[in-house]
Amino acid sequence: MIDLVEVPPAIRNLVEMTRWMGKEHLRPLGIEADRQGHPHPPDHPFYKMVAEMGIMKRRMEQETPADEKKDEGKERWGARSAVLALEEASYWDRGMAVSLPGPGLGGPPISQLGTPEQKERFLGIFRDTSKPRWGAFGMTEPGAGSDVARIATRCEKKGSEWVLNGEKSFCSNSPRADWVVVYATIDRNLGREGHRAFVIERGTAGMSTPKLEKKMGLVSYETASFSLTDCRLPAGNLLGGEAVYKGKAGFVSAMKSFDISRPAIAAMAAGIARAAYDYTRDFVKQNYTTGRPIPRYARMLDRLTTMKRKIEASALLCWKAGWMADLREPNTLMASMAKAYSAPAALEACSLGLEVLGDAGVTKDYFIEKLYRDVKAMDIVEGTGQIQRIVIARRMLDYPRAEQGG
């Protein structure tokens, strides 16, 4: 992980608090959820404790200051603090990290597209420390994953309301969310120009009860599909209002969300890789000193150094992508490089770690087996590895933007 020497004290405290929470809660609860085969319920005392700690309240106050002018000229740290805190949380348990209360991936589109009234209405609730609250982001559909331009969920203006019909899949935290940001199209033939972003609040008629996917890993957070059948929304739930959707504003807002979220998702992969490295290193050290013969010892060292090298490189790429986001510099290329590098590096780290343990590595008695199941999805979420490489190539060659993954 990045050396914290240059980090402001508030961010250092956040990372140290995450480390405490990770050790005391995220790791044990993550293992428990994995063994029981389903996530902990939203009314679990842990989530109440997190809400009461006011972490999300402080974050909301930093990100949406009442007087934005007051903060003009100050150095921004939001993207880098997310990189550091989520890397640390994922070191302990990536699934539990995603399950933490907060707006999640639904936050960036509201921040970018939402009117001040919508920001207050949908993000303001996270200042409430009396109970945990969640937001979610629904782009992916059964027929549209990487190529988000193909989404088929329809939205139609009828009088003062919008009516939505369609299917959304793999929407993380949606079963417990207070609201879900959903992307729909006014006309599929318009491609990206037809996209609109809505906020659907929990209990809205026409939204089905989300159905949980049974995942191979990352069991500790919910990923679910739901349908929208004549789901009626007031005009005020269209993010930004109709005037903002000139050209590709809806689509661009989703892509800009990825510029912020991809460095953080890449950092989560790096966190899993670091956990795999530490676990494997300790296993090797312990067995070396206690006399259990470690076969082909030089090859073991080679595997450990490969893991370590790639973890450091991942952390630096994530840091740079986050730093550019904080500077409000275009960072799409760097965000995709971080994601394209970190996810396979983390998969390799878990695979090498499992190899080092040998037969023991495939048993449930050893933590590396869980990491191996958890890590695979990191190359799929927020745009697959192939899609990141397409984004990188297009940016390098100045090709027009295309599909970038949901």
Ligand X SMILES: Cc1cc2nc3c(=O)[nH]c(=O)nc-3n(C[C@H](O)[C@H](O)[C@H](O)COP(=O)(O)OP(=O)(O)OC[C@H]3O[C@@H](n4cnc5c(N)ncnc54)[C@H](O)[C@@H]3O)c2cc1C
* Tokens 């993207």, residue located: 79
Rounded least distance, CB 143 to ligand X, Å? 8
Single out the segment in contact with ligand X by CB under 6 A; choices: 5-13, 77-85, 166-174, 197-205. 166-174
Listed in sequence order, the DSSP H helices in 157-233 are none
Judged by CB under 6 A, does residue 265 bind ligand X? no
Binding-residue total with ligand X (CB under 6 A)? 23
Footprint (CB under 6 A) of ligand X, residues 124-143? 137-140
Is 227 a binder of ligand X (CB under 6 A)?
no
* Binding range to ligand X, per CB under 6 A, among 165-173, 186-194, 273-281, 344-352: 165-173
Left if phi > 0, otherwise alpha if psi is -120 to 50, otherwise beta: which for 296? left
Among 218, 255, 265, 300, interactor with ligand X by CB under 6 A: 218
| Shortest Å, Cβ 18 to ligand X | 21
- Cα separation, 259 vs 321, in Å, equals 8
- Find the Cα–Cα–Cα–Cα dihedral 287, 290, 291, 293, rounded to 10°: -10
| Residue 100 binds ligand X (CB under 6 A) | no
CB 171 within 8 A of CB 136: yes
Interface with ligand X includes 95 (CB under 6 A)?
no
**Counting contacts by CB under 6 A, is residue 223 touching ligand X?**
yes
226 binds ligand X (CB under 6 A): no
Site string for ligand X, 354-393 (x = CB under 6 A): -----------------------x--xx-xx-xx--x---
> Contact at 8 Å (CB) between 253 and 197?
yes
CA distances from 385 to 194, 345, 404 (A): 27, 11, 10
Residue nearest to ligand X (CB): 145
> DSSP state, 30?
H
Element (H, E) at 29: helix 27-36
Residue 134: CB minimum distance to ligand X, A: 11
Q: Alpha-carbon distance 147 to 402, whole Å? A: 8
CB of 67 to ligand X, least distance (A): 33
Of residues 273 and 387, the one with the C-beta less far from ligand X: 387
CA distance 98 to 89: 9
Six-digit token string for 168: 């959304």
User: Which residues of the shown chain bind ligand X in the complex (CB under 6 A)?
Assistant: 105, 137-140, 145-146, 170-172, 215, 218, 223, 377, 380-381, 383-384, 386-387, 390, 405-406
